[in-house]
Structure 1
């Protein structure tokens, strides 16, 4: 693993452990000590996904788990993962999972009872 790959993998661990914080690309770049443009190019080259998409996908995956595992409201979960509104969270969630968050919760909660 070269130096840049090591940096990216360390950053991924940091992103994953701070996924409930509001994470902006500028913050991640500052943490890495690179300009946001350089970091995004490096991340894309190594991970084959954009940094912004990685962060969003991680947030949505964590939110999907919380919808099943917790009794928190959809709005509380959307706020916890840094969405400005429940509508923007629902739109992003539906784009990734093809159902709205409440439907996801209902479908997956029913499956776990069988």
Structure 2
């Protein structure tokens, strides 16, 4: 998924409807399914968490690889899937690649998953 596609998706009013607001159309469901599929792997969840929680907002792949008992190509594959899902972006600097989270993608998921709260109901 390209940056332009993400910008178009992010500007669509339908993207901001919550799960309890209205049923998803086929296109929205397909786009969200790609994101949830990317998040459906423990390694990718950990990678996303490592990137999102990093002070400064970005992290080098060279700093993430040692945290896993996986080869560097496998880590790169997982990062590629996170990029394709529109959750992270990256930039090559010399021989290393730096990753950062795309906040609008996380915001979109948060809005989708948010359910309305009823002031009269206690948790």
For the criterion TM > 0.5, the same-fold answer is no
- State TM-score, norm by structure 2: 0.34
The higher-RCO structure (CA 8 Å, 6+ apart) is 2
Where is the strand percentage greater, Structure 1 or Structure 2? 2
Where is the helix percentage greater, Structure 1 or Structure 2? 1
- State TM-score, norm by structure 1: 0.36
